[in-house]
């Protein structure tokens, strides 16, 4: 089904045609002066030159025709040649009714494509910290948006699980527990099933080992040797590495679960190592890669570049592969296995240049055809109130788990403060609402921008926050519950023509869902959905304050109100689902 702007544009386009102009000039947009009108068309402005007349003359002619169009309540030509319009209540109600009976609420689905979203990007053996929040929740939301739009979406966590950090951890374990069989190369038996460490141990082992390696060259050399042993497949090192992965991954899953983040693939840098030798060989043979100072590189600069784009290094001078190499091999594997139309990477924007190099190298080396879109969403930093990257109170790196718990605890106290509510329910509600505060506080910002983590603001039930959206949904749920208790039946009600301004405003707010989704998809932008639901929640609450819903005497009108707010609830819930959270029944 056509979205409301397309429908209105069709009507206005016909009027242009009737007046003797091309119908393309009838493109309607939402008014940028809502104090003057609801929609506008600027088409007359561009025609004036071609027809050598004043734009207002064209606008006047078209307006005369549009005055007879029942889609509009008011049409006005204003200087120097704009057409200002208000939509008629009947036309709007008709659109909302069709929207409500459409499975996708009026969104015209694009052709379905296979899209891989590479997000999360945690590193094994290191604790998830606040820096892992954004790649996880932005990626998860983009995945949901694309799924809603009918695409076949595959989310891959792409863990860092292969390089020197692994060697460091193993070296430290060896120093602490030298008798473990993993380090005995003559050992041929079965290795223990139980890991020789816990996840807490690992989180402490890695930083300790990393610090030692910087001070002690001998230790560092042993770490490199351990890395090499793992990478060349020495049996004991592989077995120990398996333990590291298992322990780490199950802990990551536990924490991602708290964020409602869920990956289809738990692949990592290790997954594609087997492809690297042949890939490198191919690049050498075809001549795309050449030797420079002992390293193997691909030139990726273009004449059109405005800044310096250095070559992409494929193999270092010591023969080791690196982050780039793995990403190139991963592209190869993804193309081979899933034939995606697009691969989207979500990382800190400091990796912008890096991905530009990798994408160009992948195309140049023919790992991917130019039909595949490679996109990078680079996000900004979550800062503290001091404007610097968010830290714990004592200046340390905050664990992601602690951040989630803190906001949920705050929410718990807030909920307990106001109400007699039993503990278990308060906890459950606080977890949902606290999560909404965290996710919405982040996703409502354009991803590329830095933002300030402001706990008090995020958890507020008022203003542009997650809890405010949930509060609005809960308000609707409670009205509906009362309506049912009065004997009302949702199956028997349907949306009607609005009878007052706030009811019309609510319908107008609803009506831009399809445009919002198209923009959210095109720009891979969850913040578009946040802006939409904030407007929608405001419109719902104004309507609620200005309308006696449950005490409306006209049963038929009451039913229409109920149908409208219940549809609003559905749309809000669909939207928050795409942001990664859900609403409780009460709060
Ligand atoms: N592990 C990486 C890091 O910590 C992020 C991975 C992002 N994805 C990718 N395909 N490179 O920076």
Ligand 1 atom with least separation from CA of 358 = 11
CA 160 – ligand 1 centroid, Å? 7
Average pLDDT over residues 313-341: 93
Question: What is the phi/psi pair of residue 482, to 5°?
Answer: -65, -40
pLDDT value at residue 370: 86
Upper half-sphere CA count for residue 581 (Cβ side, 13 Å): 30
Structure tokens at 532: 């939409």
Q: Across the chain, what does the average pLDDT equal?
A: 95
CA 348 – ligand 1 centroid, Å? 9
Task: Domain 400-579: give its CATH architecture.
Answer: Orthogonal Bundle (1.10)
CA 135 – ligand 1 centroid, Å? 9
Structure tokens at 169: 């951890």
528 lines ligand 1 (CB under 6 A): no
pLDDT in tens, 386-408: 999 999 888 888 999 999 999 99
pLDDT value at residue 317: 87
Q: Which of 319, 316, 329 is nearest to 276 (CA)?
A: 329
Q: Whose CA is nearest to atom 6 of ligand 1?
A: 121
Q: Whose CA is nearest to atom 11 of ligand 1?
A: 327
Ligand 1 atom with least separation from CA of 327 = 10
pLDDT in tens, 295-324: 999 999 999 999 999 999 999 888 888 899
Helix (H) or strand (E) holding 413: helix 400-418
pLDDT value at residue 417: 87
pLDDT greater than 80 at residue 458? yes
pLDDT greater than 90 at residue 512? yes
Q: Whose CA is nearest to atom 7 of ligand 1?
A: 121
pLDDT value at residue 320: 80
- Taking the alpha carbons at both ends of the chain, their separation in whole angstroms is 36
379 lines ligand 1 (CB under 6 A): no
483 lines ligand 1 (CB under 6 A): no
Mutate to test the pocket of ligand 1, among 130, 158, 268, 345 (most ligand atoms within 8 A of CB): 158
Three-point CA angle 190, 191, 194, nearest 5°? 130
pLDDT in tens, 270-284: 999 999 999 999 999
pLDDT value at residue 319: 80
Average pLDDT over residues 329-346: 98
160 lines ligand 1 (CB under 6 A): yes
324 lines ligand 1 (CB under 6 A): no
pLDDT in tens, 33-54: 999 999 999 999 989 888 888 9
CA 159 – ligand 1 centroid, Å? 7
Average pLDDT over residues 350-378: 96
Average pLDDT over residues 405-424: 91
The residues spanned by each domain of the chain are 4-87, 114-157+268-383, 164-258, 400-579
236 lines ligand 1 (CB under 6 A): no
pLDDT tier at 441 (50, 70, 90 boundaries)? very high
Calculate what percentage of the chain has a pLDDT beyond 90: 92
123 lines ligand 1 (CB under 6 A): yes
163 lines ligand 1 (CB under 6 A): no
Please state, in angstroms and rounded to a whole number, the distance separating the CA atoms of residues 28 and 13.
9
CA 197 – ligand 1 centroid, Å? 25
Calculate what percentage of the chain has a pLDDT beyond 70: 100
Fold of the domain spanning 114-157+268-383: Rossmann fold (3.40.50)
Mutate to test the pocket of ligand 1, among 326, 347, 379 (most ligand atoms within 8 A of CB): 347
Please state, in angstroms and rounded to a whole number, the distance separating the CA atoms of residues 438 and 130.
11
pLDDT value at residue 51: 87
Helix (H) or strand (E) holding 562: helix 555-579
pLDDT value at residue 511: 97
CA 445 – ligand 1 centroid, Å? 22
Residue 552 in contact with residue 558, Cβ under 8 Å? yes
CA 365 – ligand 1 centroid, Å? 21
Mutate to test the pocket of ligand 1, among 130, 159, 160 (most ligand atoms within 8 A of CB): 160
Please state, in angstroms and rounded to a whole number, the distance separating the CA atoms of residues 310 and 178.
44
The model's pTM? 0.95
pLDDT value at residue 499: 95
Ligand 1 atom with least separation from CA of 160 = 1
pLDDT tier at 418 (50, 70, 90 boundaries)? confident
327 lines ligand 1 (CB under 6 A): yes
Sign (positive or negative) of CA dihedral 86, 89, 90, 91: positive
CA 121 – ligand 1 centroid, Å? 5
429 lines ligand 1 (CB under 6 A): no
Q: Whose CA is nearest to atom 3 of ligand 1?
A: 121
Residue 172 in contact with residue 209, Cβ under 8 Å? yes
Q: What are the residue ranges of helices labelled H in 444-512?
A: 455-459, 466-485, 501-511
Q: Whose CA is nearest to atom 5 of ligand 1?
A: 121
Q: Which of 505, 484, 446 is nearest to 562 (CA)?
A: 484
Contacts of 367 (CB under 8 A, 6+ apart): 279, 328, 331, 332, 335
In DSSP terms, 85 is beta-bridged to: 39, 75
Q: Whose CA is nearest to atom 12 of ligand 1?
A: 121
Mutate to test the pocket of ligand 1, among 351, 358, 375 (most ligand atoms within 8 A of CB): 351
Q: Which range among 50-59, 138-147, 243-252, 443-452 shows the weakest confidence by mean pLDDT?
A: 50-59
CA 158 – ligand 1 centroid, Å? 7
156 lines ligand 1 (CB under 6 A): no
One of 3.40.50.720, 3.30.360.10, 3.30.1360.70, 3.40.50.11900 is the CATH number of 4-87, namely 3.30.1360.70
């Amino acid at each position: 089904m056509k979205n409301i702007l397309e429908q209105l544009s069709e009507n206005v386009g016909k009027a242009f045609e009737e007046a003797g102009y091309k119908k393309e000039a009838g493109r309607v947009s939402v008014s940028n002066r809502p104090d003057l009108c609801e929609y506008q068309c600027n088409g007359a402005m561009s025609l004036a030159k071609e027809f050598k007349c004043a734009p207002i003359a064209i606008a006047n002619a078209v307006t005369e025709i549009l005055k007879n169009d029942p889609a509009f309540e008011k049409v006005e030509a204003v200087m120097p040649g704009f057409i200002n319009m208000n939509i008629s209540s009947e036309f709007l109600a008709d659109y909302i009714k069709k929207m409500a009976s459409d499975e996708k609420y009026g969104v015209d689905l694009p052709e379905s494509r296979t899209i891989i979203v590479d997000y999360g990007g945690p590193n094994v053996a290191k604790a998830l910290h606040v820096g892992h929040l954004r790649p996880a929740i932005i990626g998860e939301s983009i995945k949901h948006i694309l799924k809603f739009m009918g695409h076949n979406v595959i989310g891959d966590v792409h863990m860092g699980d292969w390089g020197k950090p692994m060697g460091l951890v193993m070296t430290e374990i060896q120093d602490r527990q030298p008798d473990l069989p993993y380090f005995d190369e003559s050992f041929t038996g079965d290795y223990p099933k139980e890991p020789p460490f816990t996840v807490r141990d690992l989180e402490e082992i890695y930083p300790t080992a990393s610090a030692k390696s910087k001070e002690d060259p001998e230790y560092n050399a042993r770490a490199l040797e351990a890395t090499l042993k793992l990478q060349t497949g020495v049996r004991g090192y592989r077995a120990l590495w398996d333990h590291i992965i298992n322990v780490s991954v199950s802990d990551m899953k536990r924490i991602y679960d708290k964020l409602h983040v869920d990956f289809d693939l738990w692949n990592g840098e290790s997954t594609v190592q087997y492809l690297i030798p042949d890939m490198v060989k191919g690049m050498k043979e075809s001549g795309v890669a050449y030797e420079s100072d002992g390293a193997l590189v691909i030139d990726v600069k273009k004449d059109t570049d405005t800044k310096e784009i250095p070559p992409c290094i494929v193999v270092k001078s010591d023969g080791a592969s690196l982050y780039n190499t793995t990403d190139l091999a991963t592209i190869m594997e993804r193309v081979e296995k899933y034939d995606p139309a697009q691969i989207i990477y979500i990382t800190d924007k400091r990796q912008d240049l890096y991905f530009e190099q990798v994408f160009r190298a992948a195309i140049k080396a023919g790992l991917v055809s130019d039909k595949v879109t490679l996109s990078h969403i680079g996000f900004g930093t979550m800062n503290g109130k001091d404007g610097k990257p968010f830290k714990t109170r004592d200046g340390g790196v905050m664990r992601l788990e602690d951040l989630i718990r803190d906001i949920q605890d705050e929410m718990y106290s807030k909920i307990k403060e106001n109400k007699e509510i039993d503990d278990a329910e308060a906890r459950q509600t606080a977890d949902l609402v606290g999560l909404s505060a965290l996710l919405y506080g982040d996703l409502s910002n354009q991803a590329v921008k830095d933002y300030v983590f402001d706990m008090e603001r995020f958890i507020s039930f008022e203003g542009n926050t997650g809890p405010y959206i949930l509060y609005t949904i809960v308000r609707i749920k409670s009205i509906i519950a009362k309506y049912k208790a009065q004997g009302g039946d949702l199956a028997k009600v349907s949306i009607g023509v609005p009878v007052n301004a706030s009811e019309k405003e609510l319908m107008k707010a609803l009506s831009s869902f399809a445009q919002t989704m198209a923009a959210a998809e095109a720009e891979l932008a969850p913040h578009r959905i946040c802006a939409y639901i904030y407007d929608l929640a405001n419109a719902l609450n104004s309507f609620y304050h200005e309308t006696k819903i449950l005490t409306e005497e006209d049963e038929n009108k009451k039913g229409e109100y109920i149908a409208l707010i219940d549809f609003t609830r559905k749309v809000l819930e669909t939207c928050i689902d795409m942001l990664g959270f859900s609403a409780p029944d009460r709060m």
